[in-house]
């Protein structure tokens, strides 16, 4: 019969895809840990100095986000189409606004119910949970890594045979 795409080629594409996702995940975690440390430290410092929890949260997330955009765009999600342009910046800002609104709501609620120390404990917890959402959004929408499309094509070919 007619030759089909070899299973070896599909396996190589699949292995390459999983290797890239694994490396992206590790880099995202490393950069995220740096962002997390900066975000939480700045938040605690600002609230300790007397700034309101909501304002301190937005300010600390903004400083961490600037570093995250540059580092994730140039290291984690680099690729053929991963140039840090206006389109990515707009998508990043929209994502940041959504995640910051969620974070600020939770931190402010913790502050209202438990006081400043409650907000200090809630801040890292909510940020860890939002990091999972952030990775998916950054990978699939903000930085839109091209290998995903290739893998979908390979999967479609595999399932058609």
Burial of 76 (0-12, 13-18, 19+ CB in 10 A): buried
Length of the chain, in residues: 161
Q: How many C-beta atoms lie closer than 10 Å to residue 153's C-beta?
A: 11
Q: Encode the chain (161 residues) as per-residue pLDDT tens digits.
A: 555 655 555 555 555 655 666 777 788 789 989 999 999 999 999 999 999 999 999 999 999 989 888 887 788 777 635 566 788 889 989 999 999 999 999 999 999 999 999 999 999 999 999 988 888 888 888 877 544 444 443 333 333 33
């Amino acid at each position: 019969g007619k030759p089909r795409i070899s299973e070896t080629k599909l396996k190589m594409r699949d292995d390459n895809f999983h290797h890239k996702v694994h490396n992206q995940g590790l880099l995202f975690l490393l950069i995220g840990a740096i962002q997390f440390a900066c975000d939480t430290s700045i938040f605690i410092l600002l609230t300790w100095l007397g700034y309101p929890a909501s304002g301190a949260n937005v300010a600390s997330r903004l400083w961490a986000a600037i570093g995250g955009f540059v580092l994730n765009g140039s290291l984690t999600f680099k690729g053929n189409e991963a140039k840090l342009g206006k389109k990515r910046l707009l998508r990043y800002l929209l994502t940041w606004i959504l995640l910051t609104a969620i974070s600020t709501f939770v931190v402010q609620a913790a502050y209202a119910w438990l006081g400043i120390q409650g907000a200090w404990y809630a801040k890292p917890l909510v940020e860890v949970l939002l990091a999972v959402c952030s990775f998916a959004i950054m990978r699939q929408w903000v930085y839109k890594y091209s290998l995903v499309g290739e893998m979908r094509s390979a999967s479609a070919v595999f399932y058609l045979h």
